[in-house]
Amino acid sequence: MMRRLLPNFRGGVKMIVFGGVILSIVASIYAFCVFSNASGDYRDYPLSALPFEYHISSPTPNEYYPSIHASAENWNVVNGSYFQFAYAGTTSVTSLGRDHINLIFFDEAGMNFPENTNAIAFSSTFTTTVDGDYQATESDLIYNARDYPPAMDGNPNQIDLEGVLTHELGHHLGIAHFGPVGGPPGCGELLPDATMYGVVAPGDTSKRSLHPHDKAAAIELYPEWRVSLSVYDSLTQESIPLALVRSPGTTLIYTTAPEGSQCPGFIVSDSVRTDQSGTIAFEPDTSDFPLYISGFGYQSDTVSVHFQDVAAIAGTETAYINVALLPNQYVNVTGSLQDSVTGEPFGATLKFYAKHDPSEEPTQVITTDSLGNFTASFPPDEYSIEGIAEYPYPDFFDTQTFTDSTTELAYTGKPAQILYIYEDYTTENYRQMRTALDSLGYRYYYWNMAIRDSLPPQDSFDALTQPMIMIWSTGDAVVDLLDSTKQAYITQYLDDGGRLFLSGTNLAWKRSDSPLLRDYLNVEYVDKATQSVLQSAATDDPISQGNYAGYIQGMMAADMVQLTSTQYATASFRYLTTENAAMIRFDNGTYKAVYAAFGIEHLINDNPAFLPLADLMERVVSYLLDESPSSNLEENNPVPATFKVSSNYPNPFNPSTTIEYYLPGETRVTIRVYNVMGQTVRTIYSGKMESGNHSVQWNGLNNLGVQVSSGVYFFQIETPRHSNIQKMMLLR
């Protein structure tokens, strides 16, 4: 049976205990954890207190001494850390206390441990604050030799002495547990192979060897060398954010969390990036190494770093390095936008994303002038271009490679045929609808009420491609949900012969007595749905066609409605096991409408028997236009198939899983793995991809290359126009 040592905290004393507890821990992005006070000051020893002199209680058996000294030496030989242990002889002291003796005592009689305890050892560090500086002053360690006689030879039935003491002496340095296990709970990444993981099995001698993150913690707390680097433009003297600093074969330790954090987010890597101010500070594990420095749009440079050889415990030597990078020759880009039929110009805001730009923000954002023209300069690279066109033209996307000295771009387009109005001010659920419309290649204009002060003027509808369709979604809106002004806007559109698709959470519940629902759509609210699955109300219905449409996520998102008249209104979908309608269609010869009595964004189609949202919307549009799905409306950059993400397989998985997806066109793609806290665990890919079928694997490692713990994770595949998140389970 595998037994583990689980760190706990009791009365200010750290102890290691036996236990068969199974823990389910959420991984984080941090590498290791350090002790600190309430103000976030690290609990470390001042330079004047080193070397740390430890005393061994005189009753200690002689055969224990080599393991004790070896445990101390494991920390003494960490390259890049100036902390040192030193043996100061034996002592008659056998108990904790502020006596200026750093004690290691083996309690053969068990006087420090109650009967039937599972405690293996405990240690305590005393602290003080001198002139505002929080410091450690003394550390004692007591081992329960009565109940758990230690082994020095790897006996499978006993605790390995060197491994346990190496772990405990790491606490003396000020290093906490890696991962939120035991007590006091640690923080950061779960690193099972690390000495400071705090979990060990009988006979396990692996904790004698320090993990790279164990060493990194010692270096960060007691750095022998530090580099303070600044990277700037050689011509403008402006700082270069996110410049890449590499040193293959060298460990660079730096922090990404706020100063004073108990889990400061130290990253162990051979490459780092400057911050937004073009600076970075890090601690290396070697005194001589090269730095290769590059920035997007700049020529690379190399710097050799050499620290002087110094005696042990000399403190920290800091090298201040300023690097000036020469900009690359930029490419001049000119472009224009015009209506493909009339030749008239139209405006847009264009976002350019360079493939090798490390920033997640656009490399450059350009707005056209009044004649639809633009001019800009770019570093040579491949670019994904997102065009956010002025009303009533749809957004557009493109990819270009800028290499020549001058590049000319010309974009043409037609006005949108669909006006998609999204009323929800609080969520981004519009992505599902936009993904469906994009996959169908429809030309639509997206009007987000959260960033607009008003609705598009009704006299502007003639500028759209006719016949136009209005898609109006209230989403999860609560405030001003389809108020009287908005209803009057929609009813006027219908009176003028409009074609409408309407959906929204709680819409029927909150607005059942409104003229729009009662008089124009002939529906009234019945109750909240008790069954969320949508099934066809009739096999010959042009929208449902005998299919199941999926189920509504969140029961409160679905309203049950009934028809007040069947002269012009017909149910297309109803809720399973009820006769109450979920979606109706209306046609009185003047206007046509389809109403979904639920938030269309909450429709889940994760079963092959369910109708995908894109297929459902294709049928809705076809119905509103009196056309077949194959000829319903003019397409905007037709795509061969929909954006599609399949469930990962296997799921649950161990040690790896495969994620498959289809891209209808070349685009910028980011694939990330998140934990249940919403923290990024792994960025699998970020860059441009061609259209077609793709697959990636996740092997359960985080961005640091460390295995994460068992649990629930989420993967997200995101493009400028699509986003899909799915759940997966890792079982170790």
> Mind listing the pLDDT tens digit for each residue in 603-624?
887 777 788 888 899 999 999 9
Gap between the Cα atoms of 231 and 238, Å rounded: 9
Would you say residue 301 has pLDDT above 50? yes
Gap between the Cα atoms of 573 and 491, Å rounded: 24
Q: List the chain domain ranges.
A: 4-219, 225-325, 331-413, 418-631, 644-730
pLDDT of 279 reads 96
Q: Report, as an integer, the average pLDDT of 107-116.
A: 90
Would you say residue 241 has pLDDT above 50? yes
Q: Is the pTM of this model over 0.85?
A: no
| Packing angle, helices 161-173 and 65-76, rounded to 10 | 40
**Domain 4-219 is found in CATH 3.90.1200.10:** no
Query: How far is the first Cα of the chain from the last one, in angstroms, to the nearest whole number?
Result: 17
Gap between the Cα atoms of 266 and 33, Å rounded: 9
Question: 470 and 493 in contact (C-beta within 8 Å)?
Answer: yes
Q: How confident is the model at residue 261 (pLDDT cuts 50, 70, 90)?
A: low
pLDDT of 578 reads 87
Beta-carbon contacts of 114 under 8 Å, excluding residues fewer than 6 positions away, are none
Q: Which fold has domain 418-631?
A: Rossmann fold (3.40.50)
| CB burial string 455-467: b at 16+ within 10 A, e below | bbeeeebeebbee
Beta-carbon contacts of 314 under 8 Å, excluding residues fewer than 6 positions away, are 82, 224
| CB burial string 497-525: b at 16+ within 10 A, e below | ebbbbbbbbbbbbbbeebebbeebbbbeb
Q: Report, as an integer, the average pLDDT of 481-486.
A: 90
Q: How confident is the model at residue 264 (pLDDT cuts 50, 70, 90)?
A: low
Nearest alpha-carbon partner for 293 in 267, 274, 268: 274
CA 721: distance to chain centroid? 18
Pairing of strands 252-254, 267-269: antiparallel
> Mind listing the pLDDT tens digit for each residue in 339-373?
998 999 999 999 999 989 988 889 999 999 999 99
Q: Tell me the CATH architecture of domain 225-325.
A: Sandwich (2.60)
Helix-then-strand count for the chain, H and E: 8, 42
Q: How confident is the model at residue 23 (pLDDT cuts 50, 70, 90)?
A: very low
Greatest pairwise CA separation for the chain in angstroms: 102
DSSP code at position 518: I
Topology agreement, domain 4-219 and domain 331-413:
no
Lay out the sheet containing 267-269: strands in order across: 267-269, 252-254, 279-284, 225-233, 317-325
| CB burial string 380-393: b at 16+ within 10 A, e below | bbbbbbbbbbebbb
Please give the CATH number for the structural domain made up of 331-413.
2.60.40.10
Gap between the Cα atoms of 112 and 121, Å rounded: 10
Please give the CATH number for the structural domain made up of 644-730.
2.60.40.4070
Q: Report, as an integer, the average pLDDT of 539-568.
A: 87
Would you say residue 298 has pLDDT above 60? yes
Q: Report, as an integer, the average pLDDT of 130-155.
A: 91
Gap between the Cα atoms of 73 and 57, Å rounded: 19
Higher pLDDT, 188 or 631: 188
Q: What is the DSSP string of 73-125?
A: HHHHT-TTB---EEEEEEES--S--SSS-EEEEE-SS-TTS-TT--EEEEEEE
pLDDT of 409 reads 92
Higher pLDDT, 598 or 427: 598
Question: 68 and 143 in contact (C-beta within 8 Å)?
Answer: no
> Mind listing the pLDDT tens digit for each residue in 497-543?
999 999 998 999 988 889 999 999 999 999 988 888 899 998 899 99
Gap between the Cα atoms of 413 and 394, Å rounded: 8
Nearest alpha-carbon partner for 28 in 684, 678, 652, 654: 678
> Mind listing the pLDDT tens digit for each residue in 319-336?
999 999 999 999 999 999
Q: How far is CA 368 from CA 336, 337, 357, 389, in A?
A: 8, 8, 23, 10
The percent of residues in the chain predicted with pLDDT above 70, rounded, is 90
**Alpha-helix residue ranges (DSSP H) falling in 575-665:** 613-625
Nearest alpha-carbon partner for 518 in 487, 481, 564: 564
Q: How confident is the model at residue 224 (pLDDT cuts 50, 70, 90)?
A: very high
pLDDT of 9 reads 27
